Amino acid sequence: MTDHESDRHHTAQGERTRRRIIDAATELFSRCGLWGVSLGDIAERAGLTHAGVLHHFPNREAVLLHVLSRRDELDAPLLTAPAPGHRGLVDDIVRMVERDAAAPDQVSLHVTLAAEATDPAHPAHEYFVGRYRNLRDHLVPALADLLGESGGPTPEIAAQQIVALTDGLRVQWLLDPGAVDMRAAVVSFLRTLGIEVEEPPGPR
């Protein structure tokens, strides 16, 4: 094996180990929150030593930031990327709840950490403040265009309502998934605002 091949091998191995750590932390944080999980717990769940985790992450908070960063990658179209027109942003909201319904671990992670992070001392407090602010700011111009002069809520209020609805649905769905249809609830609310949502094509 050449030096170049050896470097590539070690880099790939390091990335696989980092993914194991992040996967383990995601599972533990989703169940126990940040405060209920130690770096030793993450190491044990990942099948590593405490020192092995420290080789890749300096502390538990650094692991947390990488866990949150990976979730942001899933929500990037709604949080950062320009939607293909304001209608595209509405479609992104619906796709987000559809994805959530297939990813209970990610939903639990969001709900658990967001609740903890209401404490200003929590390491993820500023992250969630920024996340919700970005989401509202991304929604407002689209809603301003879609709502027009409807006489209903202002775009700012409608954005807050949509964020509150999706968060509340996540909690209810985790508690009783068989009784809650997140997609149907979001689509119904959007229609009360006068925003139509295309239904997916049925089976042929």
In the chain the domains, ranked by start, together with CATH numbers, are 3-192 (1.10.357.10)
At 117 the pLDDT is 96
At 72 the pLDDT is 82
Distance in angstroms (rounded) separating the CA atoms of residues 106 and 72 = 11
Taking Cα atoms as reference points, which of 162, 159, 60 lies closest to residue 113? 60
Encode the chain (204 residues) as per-residue pLDDT tens digits: 565 445 565 567 889 999 999 999 999 999 999 999 999 999 999 999 999 999 999 999 999 999 998 888 877 666 665 555 577 778 888 888 999 999 999 999 999 999 999 999 999 999 999 999 988 988 898 899 888 776 789 999 999 999 999 999 999 999 999 999 999 999 999 999 988 887 665 543
Distance in angstroms (rounded) separating the CA atoms of residues 55 and 14 = 10
At 204 the pLDDT is 38
At 201 the pLDDT is 54
Confidence (pTM): 0.83
Distance in angstroms (rounded) separating the CA atoms of residues 186 and 97 = 8
Distance in angstroms (rounded) separating the CA atoms of residues 46 and 48 = 6
